[in-house]
A = this chain, B = another copy of it.
Amino acid sequence: MVPRTGTTLTKPAISLREQFEQVRQLSETLCAPLSIEDYVVQSMPDVSPPKWHLAHTTWFFETFLLTPHLKGYEVFHPKFGYLFNSYYEAVGDRHPRIQRGLLTRPTVAEVYQYRAYVDESMRSLLHQIDDAPEIQALITLGLHHEQQHQELLLTDIKHILACNPLRPAYRDNLPEPYEHGTPTQWLKFLGGLHTIGHAENTFAFDFAFDNEAPRHSVYTQDYCLASGPVTNGEYLEFIEASGYQNPKYWLSEGWSTLQNEGWTAPLYWEQIDGNWWNMTLGGLRSLNMHEPVCHVSFFEADAYARWAGKRLPTEAEWEIAAATIPSLKGNLLEQGYLHPTASIAPDFQPYGNVWEWTQSAYLPYPGFKADAGAVGEYNGKFMCNQMVLRGGSCITPQSHIRATYRNFFPTATRWQFSGIRLAQ
């Protein structure tokens, strides 16, 4: 069992069976506020309908666990393998991604029946695998996979509701955010040879994805990181300084993207009668200047940093700094804000609030080997033309994030809870 790198979390007291029940339940809890109609729609190609997420995560267990490992298991429906495979070429043909929002059937009720059927079978399997660490590892992978989809569920629900002219709220009873925050400070970190990455590619208890390994040496120069992320107020200065009108701050592809898409502010900002508003999971709110700016693309993060005379951190710089933090806390899913909040402590807070764009391209670590079999398609095949984000967001489950975690998205992506931490 390999110690988690860069955090000192002790082993969770709960068993794999308990984890399974908790994770599977949470997906359904997150969907509880939805109307049936909300489950069906794909508001853009990157978004999947909520019922698709519920079914796809279930398909993962059916396909990679139950069918090969539970004797006598019969698939719930012969076409669901076609409908709910996301991108696994090795598993066969699949429904086109951009047509996920055209499927009215199976109904939401049938998807929940599918979940119940698979969960019941999984419980049988979980009772048979005490001495089968490979199967335990695959189940753990399936749970982390579902946690990723829990985050996607909320990002996608937000997008679906925000594109509706009625601007409906996902929940009306979210906690009040902080009104004020503490000023950002610059924290200095020494350069030299450091070690980053997860020590071993394992699916067991101390879980990490294959793309976090191998642990390896990197050389950095001395650097400073901001203690907290860039705020809405700070970002608004960039907008008011004509940042979106001046190509000199932008990468060439960023500038053409801005022009083609008509970007003038982060996603979900809108100006009504001269005032800025912000669509949130709690509905349309007046823009809070102390909250971290969110839903910016890499292009915007990079342009802001250049305008501010700073830069984005590399993923190595971020991870080396995060590894100095003794405990993992922050505004994560469990806090229940479902929105970035102003910082009320001056400490360095690498986790939660917003995913932080780095200036590192998403590439294999030296010696990277994708996992064997179909699950090897999980991460490795996306290693080009994306940038790494670090630290988790206000909708990331706490047990899902860690110092070595590498999230990745294309440079124009804005619907994720992505923000900016400056370096220099």
Question: In the docked arrangement, what's the CA distance between A156 and B289, Å?
Answer: 46
Q: Decide: A90 and B248 in contact? CB cutoff 8 A.
A: yes
Q: Decide: B165 and A104 in contact? CB cutoff 8 A.
A: no
- A43: B residues at CB distance < 8 A: 102
Among A155-178, those with CB < 8 Å from B are 160-161, 163-166, 168
- A219: B residues at CB distance < 8 A: 193, 217-219
Q: Beta-carbon contacts of A307-338 to B below 8 Å, as 1s and 0s?
A: 00000000000000000000000000000000
Q: Decide: B102 and A160 in contact? CB cutoff 8 A.
A: yes
Question: In the docked arrangement, what's the CA distance between A232 and B361, Å?
Answer: 31
Q: Beta-carbon contacts of A219-231 to B below 8 Å, as 1s and 0s?
A: 1110000000000
- A247: B residues at CB distance < 8 A: 89-90
The CB with the most chain B CB atoms within 10 A, among A37, A82, A383, A384, is that of A37
Instruction: Please judge, given known A-B contacts A82-B165, A253-B385, whether A367 and B41 are in contact too, CB under 8 Å.
Output: no
Q: Can you offer 19 A-B residue contacts whose CB atoms are under 8 A?
A: A35-B104, A36-B36, A36-B37, A37-B104, A40-B40, A41-B41, A41-B102, A89-B247, A95-B165, A101-B101, A103-B164, A105-B166, A220-B366, A250-B381, A252-B377, A253-B382, A253-B385, A299-B384, A359-B363
Q: CB-nearest residue of chain B relative to A381?
A: B252
Among A177-235, those with CB < 8 Å from B are 193, 216-221
Q: How far in angstroms is the closest Cβ of chain B from A378? A: 11
Question: In the docked arrangement, what's the CA distance between A384 and B357, Å?
Answer: 13
- Other than A38-B105, A253-B382, give 8 A-B pairs with Cβ distance below 8 A: A35-B104, A41-B104, A89-B255, A90-B247, A252-B382, A254-B384, A255-B381, A384-B411
- A87: B residues at CB distance < 8 A: 252
Q: How far in angstroms is the closest Cβ of chain B from A280? A: 16
Q: 7 closest pairs, A vs B, by CB?
A: A361-B361, A89-B247, A37-B104, A36-B36, A252-B381, A38-B104, A219-B219
**Which of B104, B221, B366, B377 meets A161, CB within 8 Å?**
B104
Instruction: Please judge, given known A-B contacts A102-B43, A251-B383, A366-B221, whether A107 and B166 are in contact too, CB under 8 Å.
Output: no
- A302: B residues at CB distance < 8 A: 384
**A114 at interface (Cβ–Cβ under 8 A)?**
no
**A355 at interface (Cβ–Cβ under 8 A)?**
no
- A298: B residues at CB distance < 8 A: 384
Q: CB-nearest residue of chain B relative to A366?
A: B221
**A83 at interface (Cβ–Cβ under 8 A)?**
yes
Q: Decide: B384 and A89 in contact? CB cutoff 8 A.
A: no
- A101: B residues at CB distance < 8 A: 41, 101
Q: Decide: A164 and B105 in contact? CB cutoff 8 A.
A: yes
Question: In the docked arrangement, what's the CA distance between A411 and B360, Å?
Answer: 17
Q: How far in angstroms is the closest Cβ of chain B from A52? A: 12
- A89: B residues at CB distance < 8 A: 247-248, 255
Instruction: Please judge, given known A-B contacts A104-B40, A104-B164, whether A251 and B367 are in contact too, CB under 8 Å.
Output: no
Question: In the docked arrangement, what's the CA distance between A298 and B82, Å?
Answer: 31
**A265 at interface (Cβ–Cβ under 8 A)?**
no
Q: Decide: B166 and A251 in contact? CB cutoff 8 A.
A: no
Q: How far in angstroms is the closest Cβ of chain B from A21? A: 28
Instruction: Please judge, given known A-B contacts A40-B41, A41-B40, whether A384 and B102 are in contact too, CB under 8 Å.
Output: no
- A255: B residues at CB distance < 8 A: 89, 381
**Which of B40, B160, B218, B299 meets A37, CB within 8 Å?**
B40
**A375 at interface (Cβ–Cβ under 8 A)?**
no
**Which of B103, B108, B160, B251 meets A384, CB within 8 Å?**
B251
Among A81-118, those with CB < 8 Å from B are 82-83, 87, 89-90, 95, 99, 101-108
**Which of B83, B107, B384 meets A253, CB within 8 Å?**
B384
- A387: B residues at CB distance < 8 A: 384
